[in-house]
Amino acid sequence: MSGLFDFVKSIGKKIFGAGEDPAAKIKAMIEKDNPGLKDVGVTFKDGVVSLAGSGSTEALQKAVLMAGNVMGVGEVKIEGEQAKAVDDGTQYYVIKSGDTLSAVAKQFYGDANKYNAIFEANREVIKDADLIFPGQKIRIPKL
């Protein structure tokens, strides 16, 4: 489980600044991009997000990635049964310098042309297939 829940705190999407409530900003982002998570609850302390809500395993995984790929977040916690559901064997990948989605698809699927499957599985954290960044964590869907 630790692989999914750990993130690089110093990189990511900057959505809050000094004097703003990080938990409220992260919650609003998750609700806006709605990965299918309902009754979203977010707390933030010292770079750690605690996330709650109900939804499918995929929705929970996407919400964890959305929260974790925010600058200033180093860890995302989910409690109880939800934490077990999120750790379903799905593969994750941390983008490295020079990576493209095509290169990641080639690595995992043996076919660079399958990059769109990765893009579609990560729409909430990748808005443009050409705009990924080192340190960003993404889901690698099973084909």
The per-residue pLDDT string of the chain (143 residues; one tens digit each, 9 = 90 and over) reads 345 688 989 999 999 999 999 999 999 999 998 888 899 999 999 999 999 988 888 899 999 999 999 999 999 998 767 777 777 778 999 999 999 999 999 999 999 999 999 999 999 999 999 999 999 999 999 88
Question: How many Å is the maximal CA-CA distance in the chain?
Answer: 47
pLDDT at 117: 97
Degrees (nearest 5) of the Cα angle 75, 76, 82?
150
Contact by Cβ (8 Å): 97, 133: no
Contact by Cβ (8 Å): 58, 36: yes
pLDDT at 57: 87
Q: Tell me which residue has tokens 């995929």.
A: 58
Domain with CATH 3.10.350.10 in the chain: 91-140
Chain segment 53-82, per-residue pLDDT in tens: 888 888 999 999 999 999 999 999 987 677
Could you tell me whether strands 48-54 and 38-45 are parallel, antiparallel, or unpaired per DSSP bridges? antiparallel
pLDDT at 87: 72
Q: How far is CA 48 from the centre of its chain?
A: 14
Architecture of domain 91-140: Roll (3.10)
> Tokens representing 92?
């994750």
Element of type H or E holding 38 = strand 38-45
Task: Give the ranges where the chain is alpha helix by DSSP (H).
Answer: 2-5, 22-33, 57-68, 80-86, 101-109, 115-121
pLDDT at 2: 45
pLDDT at 1: 39
